[in-house]
Structure 1
Amino acid sequence: MIRWGLVIATYLIVGLMLVLPPVVVLSEALREGIGPAVATLADPDAVSAFRLTLEMTIASVIFNTIFGVLAAWLISKYRFPLRGLLVALIEIPISISPVVAGLVWLLLFGTQGWWGTALERMHIAVAFAPPGILLATIFVTFPYVARTLLPLMEQQGRDVEEAAMLLGASFWQILFYVTLPNARWALLSGILLTTARAMGEFGAVSVVSGHIPGLTETMPLHIETLYNGYQSVAAFTMAALLAIMAMATVWLRSVFEARALRLPEPDVQEGGRA
């Protein structure tokens, strides 16, 4: 009885907290029919928000993937002073409020910020422009690839890499042909987690973007603008599109994680010979 009670309670909580909100969003988006809902996505501001969200997501994923791989390699393969501090610093974006992060970028790059005046003289816009949005998105998604790869790379040890090095392999050959093939599913999982987080970021981006429709509004910001303007169908349609994109990303991550559990990792000797 206790087991079944826990099962029922779990499903009820999951249904209420996780399933009901997307269903409500989708039903509100289609309240006036699929035609008006789809038509709202052709609005220039909606197209601009969609494009900006994709651009910021792709750029932040590329940056954090490169950094995350190199940081996980360094932390897992070497011992050096203040190593624990480096790990703690990488994890800061998980614990700090995104709004605080946005305020920091505004303090640095805003018109009245530390470097704002100098940048303005050089006609370089960071705050209230796409570069500021990119910095905010990179910050909030900073830890995910590194923290996903780190436990696996630590488990792998250094024996295979050292053997490849003795055989004359360069750093990049070892990274691409030995280390990463053995961590490919963890890497994909971290990339998809970063993607989902970047697409849905609101707090930091809201502070640093200036909320300029058609210029610095990402999809989450555009949803707020539409809802505050009493355009509920358009707001819920954009929200439904964002939710579908996020859920598809999370589903792909679950698929990759399931495959990682089912399939054996590539043979270490084969990775070393490659």
Structure 2
Amino acid sequence: MNALASSSPDSARRSPAEIALIAAAYAIVGLMLVLPPVLVFTEALRSGLGAALASITDPDALSAIKLTLEMTVAAVVINTSFGVLAGWLLAKYRFPGRGVLVALIEIPISVSPVVAGLVWLLLFGTQGWWGEALNRVGITIAFATPGILLATLFVTFPFVTRTLLPLMEQQGRDAEEAATLLGASFWRILWGVTLPEARWALLSGVLLTTARAMGEFGAVSVVSGHIPGLTETMPLHIETLYNGYQSVAAFSMAALLAIMATATVGMRSLFEARIRREEPRKAETAGGGA
């Protein structure tokens, strides 16, 4: 027993190559992921905590924070509703064009957000296909909050669906078919049978959507018009402050955005850990039932 333990990989002496690889990994992570936030907070507090707090309570800053939160909440609600239904459809049924639908849902992951913003301008801008007609009836989309919402919806479109889809496919349809035979409606099956088992994956997708929505810059920059106090989200306001040589205010807003995003990603990591802990239990339960 002792001989086996002493020869196990965990207790063996690491080779110089392994040590160098581990050191390189820590160095890259420190340089790329740890150093930037440290520098952001250092610059934000360069003139003291009071100056940092004053900069993020400026009326334009508060307006940017409010708009960011509003767009994030709206995008999360809409894309979560769509993502749940799309994930359920794609996981439970096989139909012609299913692969095409999956590919279309994943387009926002591969297409540049700037391209998406230009498309919305082409459609809804004052010189766009439908912009002039909409303006005649008092509807403004480009350079207004509806355009920002459309841009945010596009870039966050796939995340809930792609998070739910693998887990829903593992569930199978046995429990749902049994509920159908007992007379349960579609909505009762969805909320009472399907989603409870996928709740942690759903929460993970929601949080990923939240983090992406808060930090979106490219598509929103194109369609917003950068109007301070009206159409500037937090990322856009940071750019405006930095271009205006207000570095303390810019880094203070960046630090606040980093805190919000880090908290969201941290919660998602906790939910993913919960999923990994529950998977062996479900497997044991299924094996025991068999």
- TM-score normalised by L of structure 1: 0.96
CA shift in 2, pair 1:268/1:217, >3 Å: farther
Partner of 1:41: 56
Residue 74 (str. 1) matches residue 99 (str. 2) = no
Partners of 1:168 and 1:267 lie apart in 2 by 29
Within the candidate set 243, 248, 251, 1:228 is matched to 243
The residue correspondences of 1:49-68 to structure 2 (distance < 5 A) are 49-68=64-83
Q: How far did 1:13 drift?
A: 0.3
Structure 1 residue identity aligned to 2:41: L
Partner of 1:252: 267
Partner of 2:155: 140
Aligned ranges 1:96-115 → 2 under 5 Å: 96-115=111-130
Q: Report the counterpart of residue 257 of structure 2 in structure 1.
A: 242
Alignment of 1:45-194 (within 5 A): 45-194=60-209
- C-alpha deviations, 1:11-39, integer Å up to 9, x for none? 11001000000000000000010011101
1:19 aligns with 2:38: no
Could you tell me how far 1:265 is from its partner in structure 2? 5.1
Normalised by the length of structure 2, the TM-score is 0.91
Q: What is the distance in 2 between the residues matched to 1:101 and 1:259?
A: 35
- Structure whose CA Rg is larger: 2
- Please tell me whether the aligned partners of residues 181 and 266 of structure 1 are also in contact (alpha carbons under 8 angstroms): no
Give the corresponding residue for 2:25: 10
Q: CA deviation at 1:266?
A: 11
Amino acid corresponding to residue 256 of structure 2 in structure 1:
L
Q: Which runs of 5+ in 1 are unaligned?
A: 270-274
SS of equivalent to 1:211: coil
Q: Distance in 2 between matches of 1:104 and 1:253?
A: 31
Contact map agreement 1:182 1:265 (CA 8 A) in 2: no
**Partner SS, residue 148 of structure 2:** helix
In the aligned structure 2, how far is the partner of 1:153 from the partner of 1:230?
50
Identical amino acids, percent of aligned pairs: 76
Residue matched to 2:211: 196
**CA-atom RMSD, angstroms?**
1.4
Separation in structure 1 between the aligned mates of residue 284 and residue 82 of structure 2, nearest angstrom: 26
Aligned partners of 1:109 and 1:268: how far apart in 2? Answer: 53
In 1, the alpha carbon distance for the partners of 2:282 and 2:222 equals 43
Check conservation: 1:111, 1:117, Cα contact below 8 A. Answer: yes
Amino acid at match of 1:110: G
Count of residues paired in the alignment: 269
The AA in structure 2 aligned to 1:114 is W
Where does the alignment leave 5 or more consecutive residues of structure 2 unmatched?
1-15
In the alignment, residue 225 of structure 1 is paired with which amino acid? T
Tell me how far apart the structure 2 counterparts of residues 73 and 4 of structure 1 sit (CA, whole Å): 46
1:176-230 deviations in Å (ceiling 9; x for gaps): 1110011111101000000000000000000000000000000000000000000
Write the distance in 1 (CA, Å) between the matches of 2:31 and 2:122. 40
Equivalent position amino acid for 2:172 in 1: G
Misfit runs of 4+, over 2 Å: 263-269
CA deviation after TM superposition for structure 1 residue 41, in Å: 1.0
The offset of 1:267, in angstroms, is: 11
Give me the whole-angstrom Cα distance separating, in 2, the residues matched to 1:43 and 1:134.
24
1:272 paired residue number? none
Q: CA deviation at 1:137?
A: 0.1
Structure 1 distance, partners of 2:129, 2:111, is 22
- Which amino acid in the other structure matches residue 49 of structure 2? I
